[in-house]
Each structure stands twice: as structure tokens, then as C-alpha cells.
Chain A
Amino acid sequence: GQNIDQPTEMTATEGAIVQINCTYQTSGFNGLFWYQQHAGEAPTFLSYNVLDGLEEKGRFSSFLSRSKGYSYLLLKELQMKDSASYLCAVRLRDYKLSFGAGTTVTVRA
């Protein structure tokens, strides 16, 4: 089976930076995704890493180390609207996407 771990909850202050870590042990690796999910809504795509290194997209960045089975999502200049669950997902070689349980981020004023 697949094992994808991420913290359950994190709290941060508006304007701050938060880093959400994700570690994985999977049979076959074909890319790592981060999704954002607001309460009661569908997940939406945030970022994708398939090679080692940092991918930056506005206030959000995602990092991948394949040798360590590790990724993080960095959220900068936090806004209240960033309060949501953040899902780490690993794509396997047969194009199945396996998700972690998600990290709920609460942004406080």
C-alpha cells in the first residue's frame, strides 16, 4: 500500500509563512501534487513536482526531494482566504493518485 503522511492541523497568523510537510513511501513514483480544499468544496489543483527542487507560483511554492520521499508546500503572506485543507498526493506509474489525509490550516487575524 501507499503511505503518505502530513500533519493534521496547523495554525498561523495573517501575513505569516506556513510550511506543510509531506512524507511518502510508495511503490512507484510519477509526480507529487498539492491540492487546496475549502470546507464543503471540491479540491483544486495548486502545484506539481516531478523533479527535485522548488517550484514557485505566486505566494505558493512546493519542494520535492525524491531520494528522501519528502515534499513541502510553502504558503507566504498568508491571507484569511488561505484557511483550508491542503492535500498532498502522489501519482503512481499507473496514473492512480494516492492522497494523504490532509492538513487543515487555520489563519488567524
Chain B
Amino acid sequence: DAGITQSPRHKVTETGTPVTLRCHQTENHRYMYWYRQDPGHGLRLIHYSYGVKDTDKGEVSDGYSVSRSKTEDFLLTLESATSSQTSVYFCAISPLAGTNTGELFFGEGSRLTVL
């Protein structure tokens, strides 16, 4: 199994508070992703990173920021949480596509509830 851990696994917070989710990998993979999963919508990409300090927006990036200062860590920050950001957040990692399929390996997920 790919070495990928997310923290915290569960969090309950109040509207307007900042929240940071951490994704840590031990695989030295180049690509890292943050997705959110909601009923009826499947997995939607928030942000992704293709290297240290190299990030790009996904389809639902409003209200979220990311940082990647080291290969192994990818942080997702909600500057001011809203109830619409209640969701399950998945981090994923992928090796550089080339001779392999470059599939994504997912973390266990972080369940965030914003009251």
C-alpha cells in the first residue's frame, strides 16, 4: 500500500474558523491532489500539485488554498470555513506518468463538519 496519511481524520468546527488538513506521503511521488466527495457529486478536484511549490486549481477551488513546501507534505487550508465545505476530503498521490499507468493512490479521507 502507498504510504499516505491524512490528518486529522475527523474534525468538527464552526463557521468562520480556519481549518488546515494535512496530507503526508512517504513514496516521494511528484503529484499530489486534494479532492472532496459529496453525495451525488462524486470526487471533485480542489487543487493539485506537480512539484514543490508548484500547484494549480481544480474545478472547486474557491474558498480553498494549498501549499507544498516539501515533497512529502501537501496542506489544504480553508481560510474561513462555511457549512458548504462540510464534506469528506481525500488526498491522493501519483508517481510521474511514464512507464506506469500513473494511477492515483488515496489516503483514508478526512471527514470535516462545519456547524
Chain A interface residues toward B at CB < 8 A: 1-2, 30-31, 33, 41-45, 48, 50, 87, 89, 91, 94-102
Contacts and interface: CB of A to CB of B under 8 A. Distances in A.
Contacts of A44: 106
30 contacts: A1-B59, A2-B59, A31-B101, A31-B102, A33-B103, A42-B90, A42-B106, A42-B107, A42-B108, A42-B109, A43-B43, A43-B90, A43-B106, A44-B106, A45-B104, A45-B105, A48-B101, A48-B103, A87-B43, A89-B43, A95-B31, A95-B97, A96-B33, A96-B48, A96-B58, A98-B59, A99-B42, A99-B43, A99-B44, A101-B40
Please tell me the size bucket of the interface on B: 20 to 34
Interface of B: 31, 33, 35, 40-45, 48, 50, 56, 58-59, 90, 92, 94, 97, 101-109
Given A43-B106, A95-B31, A100 B42 contact: yes
Interface of A is mostly: loop
A95 B96 CA distance: 9
A99 B102 CA distance: 15
A48 B101 CA distance: 7
A78 to B, nearest CB: 23
